[in-house]
Structure 1
């Protein structure tokens, strides 16, 4: 049966009863006994709180301390993913090499440093750059402009980026806990379907992954993954190539032992397409904070969906109606929304109405 931790008031009252019973007298309203009882009861309450804290650390959960989750996950072989720097190619017009460590800047102030410079060819020079600061903010789409901070003779100052990706923020503790629980429930099996999911989610920035058996027939598996922290969550070509190499063979983050797909199995990347659903919602009472809470709740439901699953009207309604503070609402979605096996549901634009 559950143990109910007594409140401070209950401890004080219980202490008074014990003292009066021992002294066989009624204590005065103010006195040394009352003061001592209050002090001892407060100390006992602190011990209860400490024991409650210990209980929350024994089995990692959302109520555990962040460091407890990180340490326990490390012990189980799930390491928190550190922030990573974005990298990719930039093309400049010129006829001389660009020195390594040359710095260039984006119009918004982001800095990038040359890590590899190729020889000039056909009047252009292609260099590999890396973002100075780690994090998802360093990613850039193709076709953007980077400008040399210092002039390089023989090189035009403005370069055009290719696909600069791979930047990711440090993994939130909540995701570390989720991966820890996934590993506890799905121990490594050397190539089971859940191993592919775990391998994908070990890569910096990857937040969700899926695996399908017999994707293109016997001895094949299909896998897909997304980056929820990016504006475009679908992996770039660079991400796909890097993931293919990682799944083929990589050192286990905890042991350093090479692991990867078993021989004779072909792992095939599943190119996902986003199936966006726009919603019209009217809530009562209406406020900007409550709108944000409702949006967060709906996004949480969307993130539980797998490729090819059905977006359920009842679940969207539950996500809205269960948001604290919502008394009433109107939703324009009137039916479930199916998806193809290569489609992943994503929340589109929410149009907010007024009652």
Structure 2
């Protein structure tokens, strides 16, 4: 049976009745007794509030304090992923090695430091750079330009990047909570299918992951993962190589013990492709705030879908019509949208119209 925490007004009224019963008289409208009763009732309400706060910390939920979630997750072996700096190759034109700690800059002001320099080959020098600031903003697509901050004799100032990746922001607390709940519901089993999902989500920047038993026959496990914090959520070749090595063998973030795929099992990365669906929606009433709420609801639904899962028209309608404040709407989607086994649904452009 639930316990209803009394309001301050109820506590004051109850205290007043108790005092009158004890004194066997009606208290005057203004007096020391009522003043003391209000003060004690306020303190008692603070105690109730503190007890309610404790209840929300005992079992971590979305209502718990961030630090409670982080600390509890740590005791369960789920460590919050720290921000990481992006790294990758840059090709410079020249005939001498580039000194370590040389600075390069992107046109938007992002700085990178040379951490490894190879010997010149055919007039080109391949160096490895690391972003000065950790975070997803340090990732750069293949083929962009970086410029030397200071002149290096024998090296031309402009270089061309390869895939500079691996940068990730500090893991949000809500994702720590998701991983904690997943681990409690799916305890580590030394190579069970759900372990591959847990391993993928331990890698910095990975927000969603899936795994499938017997993906290409016996003793195979298919796995896929995405980076929702990036503009392009599909992993690149560097991400896939990093994940493959991590699944093969890595140190457990909590214990430091070596863990990974068991012998005799072949993990197979699923070459994910996005299946983008554009929507035309008209809302009644129509406002910018309501549009943002509807888009948030649709984003939340799309992120529940797994590769190969069908986009349900009824679920899209529910996401729109179930948004608080929407009384009516129009939608140009008329049927479910199926997906191939390696396709993941992605919300495209929403064209807003007057319903």
Under TM normalisation by the shorter chain, which class is it?
over 0.9
Equivalent residue, structure 1, for 2:264:
264
Structure 2 SS opposite 1:201: helix
Mapped to 1, the partners of 2:283 and 2:138 lie a distance apart of 37
Equivalent residue, structure 2, for 1:37:
37
Equivalent residue, structure 2, for 1:18:
18
Alignment of 1:315 with 2:330, yes or no, is no
Mapped to 2, the partners of 1:39 and 1:9 lie a distance apart of 12
How far 1:289 moved relative to its partner?
Answer: 2.1
How far 1:285 moved relative to its partner?
Answer: 1.9
Equivalent residue, structure 1, for 2:150:
150
Equivalent residue, structure 1, for 2:205:
205
Residue correspondence of structure 1 range 130-279 to structure 2 within 5 A: 130-279=130-279
Equivalent residue, structure 1, for 2:337:
337
Structure 1 SS opposite 2:274: strand
Alignment of 1:94 with 2:94, yes or no, is yes
Residues 204-246 of structure 1 deviation map (CA, whole Å, 9 limit, x = unaligned): 0000000011111111111000001100000000000000000
Residues 146-202 of structure 1 deviation map (CA, whole Å, 9 limit, x = unaligned): 000000011110000000110000000000000000000000000000000000000
Structure 1 SS opposite 2:43: helix
Mapped to 2, the partners of 1:290 and 1:107 lie a distance apart of 37
Residues 49-107 of structure 1 deviation map (CA, whole Å, 9 limit, x = unaligned): 00000000000000000000000000000000000000100001111111010001000
Structure 1 SS opposite 2:255: coil
Mapped to 2, the partners of 1:322 and 1:73 lie a distance apart of 33
Structure 2 SS opposite 1:54: helix
How far 1:347 moved relative to its partner?
Answer: 0.5
Unaligned runs of 5+ in 1: none
Equivalent residue, structure 2, for 1:119:
119
How far 1:8 moved relative to its partner?
Answer: 0.3
Mapped to 2, the partners of 1:117 and 1:332 lie a distance apart of 55
Structure 2 SS opposite 1:3: coil
Equivalent residue, structure 2, for 1:110:
110
Structure 2 SS opposite 1:329: strand
How far 1:286 moved relative to its partner?
Answer: 1.6
- CA RMSD of the aligned region, Å? 0.6
Alignment of 1:346 with 2:346, yes or no, is yes
How far 1:327 moved relative to its partner?
Answer: 2.0
Structure 2 SS opposite 1:224: strand
How far 1:325 moved relative to its partner?
Answer: 2.1
Unaligned runs of 5+ in 2: none
Mapped to 1, the partners of 2:270 and 2:50 lie a distance apart of 49
With normalisation by structure 1, the TM-score equals 0.99
Alignment of 1:4 with 2:4, yes or no, is yes
Mapped to 2, the partners of 1:266 and 1:172 lie a distance apart of 32
How far 1:320 moved relative to its partner?
Answer: 1.1
Mapped to 2, the partners of 1:6 and 1:318 lie a distance apart of 36
Mapped to 1, the partners of 2:34 and 2:194 lie a distance apart of 61
* Most deviating of 102-111 and 321-330: 321-330
Mapped to 1, the partners of 2:88 and 2:277 lie a distance apart of 33
4+ residue stretches of structure 1 with deviation over 3 A? none
Mapped to 2, the partners of 1:100 and 1:354 lie a distance apart of 59
Mapped to 2, the partners of 1:94 and 1:233 lie a distance apart of 35
Structure 2 SS opposite 1:42: helix
Equivalent residue, structure 2, for 1:57:
57
Mapped to 2, the partners of 1:109 and 1:324 lie a distance apart of 42
How far 1:287 moved relative to its partner?
Answer: 1.8
How far 1:324 moved relative to its partner?
Answer: 2.0
Mapped to 2, the partners of 1:104 and 1:268 lie a distance apart of 37
